[in-house]
Amino acid sequence: MAAGVPLGMWFVRHVAFAREPLVIDGQTWAQKDVQPGASLSRRFTITNRSASPVRIESIERSCRCTTATLAPNPILPGESSVLDCTLHVPPGGDGAKATIVLKTDNSHQPTVSVHMEAQTRDTLTIEPLSLYWRQETASGPFVRRVILRRLDERGLSTPKVHLPAGMTCEIRRLSDEACEAVLTVAEWPEREDAVVEFLTDVRGFERVSLPVCFEGLPPVVILPETILIFGPDGRGSVCLYGQNGLAVTSAEVIRRPEFLAVTFARDDGAMKVEASMSANTGTLSNSDHIVIRATTDQGSHDLTIPVRVYLD
């Protein structure tokens, strides 16, 4: 600091004016639930807080969906200019966003920018939002249904459908605003995940995606699902069936309650699991489970079998 210069004066000269000269009121602007195809206008105020004029040399846009004009230019010390921006939202899609960059002639602040974003409302919906598709029988065809619905007044045109291989779709109209999509798989797919896309062509296009998760039959099925034991001398059993041509070749107990005795026996191509009350009933519970390890030609599979005991 120069000799004889008060500290406060030195701060004003070297610190206060080292800050960026231009300040924008509301530098980021966003709006939700915008109608597709709308044009949105926003006015940004840019203030020059320095002691020198700042000229905007150029205005650059991140996309062609927006326009921008600035006046006056240059921005005089202590005064403001207005940046008028318009964001055009496409007829289809998920909205629009743009960043507008202003290049200045000021070395402390070579650029300033504003950001605009518009999010369209969901006018095309699907029920359910995703599809968990579980195989329930060994052979097809396998059928599931979903509902497409439009939430505005334009009505729903018959959608085009992009399907994964092996799937077909039949569109059935329910009303002017809704239709049913009947999805069919002739043979159960080997993949686990897929996406079905529906597209409409009202005022451009709108797209809705349906994630699908396939779960095939387990290699071993338990029938019935629960072992039921009635009375202290009762017995209950289930059978283990191999799927898709597999056979259960052996089984062993991994975990069981101490009050249960478990035995295995062949039963017409299935493995029968029978449980009965053992002599030790010190920790008797009317609801528990056993864990069985069943072996097939494709390896071992741990199965949990619920057990319910009714003593009355």
In this prediction, residue 130 carries a pLDDT of: 87
**Tokens encoding 65:** 């969906």
Report the C-alpha gap between 90 and 204 in whole angstroms.
8
Nearest to 231 by CA among 170, 159, 281: 281
Q: What is the pLDDT of residues 44-72, one digit of tens each?
A: 999 999 899 999 999 998 888 889 999 99
Higher pLDDT, 122 or 265: 265
Among 87-96, 180-189, 253-262, which is the least confidently predicted range? 87-96
Among 4-13, 199-208, 213-222, 273-282, which is the least confidently predicted range? 4-13
In this prediction, residue 14 carries a pLDDT of: 45
In this prediction, residue 279 carries a pLDDT of: 61
Q: What is the pLDDT of residues 128-157, one digit of tens each?
A: 888 888 887 777 899 999 998 877 666 777
**Tokens encoding 281:** 């009933």
Strand-pair partners of 292: 253, 303
State what percent of residues in the chain have pLDDT above 70: 86
pLDDT tier, 247 (very low <50, low <70, confident <90, very high otherwise):
confident
In this prediction, residue 89 carries a pLDDT of: 85
| Average pLDDT score over the chain | 83
Question: For the residues 288-296, what does the mean pLDDT come to?
Answer: 89
In this prediction, residue 234 carries a pLDDT of: 84
Strand-by-strand arrangement of the 287-296 sheet: 227-230, 299-310, 287-296, 250-255
In eight-state DSSP terms, residue 158 is P
pLDDT tier, 15 (very low <50, low <70, confident <90, very high otherwise):
very low
Among all chains, which residue has been given the structure tokens 């729903």? Answer: 156
> Is a pLDDT exceeding 50 seen at residue 9?
no
In this prediction, residue 296 carries a pLDDT of: 86
In eight-state DSSP terms, residue 6 is -
Superfamily of domain 20-120 in CATH is Immunoglobulins (2.60.40.10)
What residue ranges of the chain are covered by domains with CATH 2.60.40.10? 20-120, 124-215, 220-310
Higher pLDDT, 232 or 262: 262
Higher pLDDT, 291 or 38: 291
**Tokens encoding 305:** 């079998």
The CB density around residue 275, as the number of other CB atoms within 10 Å, is 26
Higher pLDDT, 301 or 82: 82
Question: For the residues 220-241, what does the mean pLDDT come to?
Answer: 87
In this prediction, residue 94 carries a pLDDT of: 67
Query: Beta-strand (E) ranges in 106-205?
Result: 111-120, 124-127, 131-134, 142-150, 160-162, 167-173, 178-185, 193-200
Q: Residues, the chain, total?
A: 312
Report the C-alpha gap between 181 and 76 in whole angstroms.
62
CATH code of domain 124-215: 2.60.40.10
In this prediction, residue 6 carries a pLDDT of: 53
What CATH number does domain 220-310 carry, 2.60.40.10, 1.10.8.640, 2.60.120.260, 1.10.3720.10?
2.60.40.10
In terms of pTM, does the model score above 0.75? no
Say which residues have a Cβ less than 8 Å from residue 28's Cβ, sequence separation at least 6: 114, 115, 117
**In this structure, are residues 104 and 57 in contact, taking their beta carbons and an 8 Å threshold?**
yes
State what percent of residues in the chain have pLDDT above 90: 32
